[in-house]
């Protein structure tokens, strides 16, 4: 089975949505997915933060249009994409332990239900080395 490895640095709504769409596509293709959440990304995975994410990494002056279009097109939230992908295929989500601490998450219980474990950066690099596709978002 092909494997996708994702370094998820960004915790912004647009990039999290992109990550969710890509992961969902991988799930439809029956791929294994490993996501390593780095620095800014970890903020989105702190328990209770999933609905608080509303900043954009790009074209932030068009945030209103962007979020309205997502609503009008009935696009799932980034969190729903992650959930659906996890239901469909083998998706593991790991939080870089440093990133977690920066946003106040020291233990697995501090994060939402998507998260499988905390990890060190070496695991990310090994996973990237072994994956068929590696991307950094």
Partner 1 sequence: MNIAIDQTLDCKGLSCPMPMMKLAKAMKGMKSEEVLEMIGTDPGTKSDLPRWCNKSGNVLLDEGELEGGIFRFLIQKK
Binding site for partner 1 (CB under 8 A): 21, 24-25, 27-30, 73-76, 84, 88
Whole-number minimum distance, CB 81 to partner 1, in Å? 8
- 39 vs 135 by CB, closer to partner 1: 135
Question: Tell me, what DSSP letter sits at residue 137?
Answer: -
Q: Compute the distance between CA of residue 117 and CA of residue 66 in angstroms, rounded to an integer.
A: 32
Whole-number minimum distance, CB 45 to partner 1, in Å? 21
Q: Compute the distance between CA of residue 87 and CA of residue 51 in angstroms, rounded to an integer.
A: 20
- 88 vs 121 by CB, closer to partner 1: 88
Q: Compute the distance between CA of residue 17 and CA of residue 14 in angstroms, rounded to an integer.
A: 5
3-state secondary structure of 35: strand
- 18 vs 96 by CB, closer to partner 1: 18
Whole-number minimum distance, CB 13 to partner 1, in Å? 17
């Amino acid at each position: 089975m092909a494997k996708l490895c994702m370094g998820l640095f960004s915790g912004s709504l647009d990039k999290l949505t992109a990550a969710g769409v890509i992961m969902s596509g991988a799930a439809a293709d029956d791929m294994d997915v490993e996501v390593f959440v780095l620095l800014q990304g970890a903020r989105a995975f702190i328990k209770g933060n999933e609905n608080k994410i509303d900043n954009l990494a790009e074209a932030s002056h068009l945030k209103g249009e962007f979020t309205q279009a997502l609503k009008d097109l009935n696009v799932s939230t980034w969190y729903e994409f992650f959930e659906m992908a996890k239901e469909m295929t083998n998706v593991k989500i790991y939080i870089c332990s440093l990133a977690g601490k920066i946003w106040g998450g020291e233990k697995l219980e501090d994060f939402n239900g998507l998260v499988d474990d905390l990890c060190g950066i070496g695991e990310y690099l090994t996973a990237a080395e072994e994956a068929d596709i590696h991307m950094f978002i």
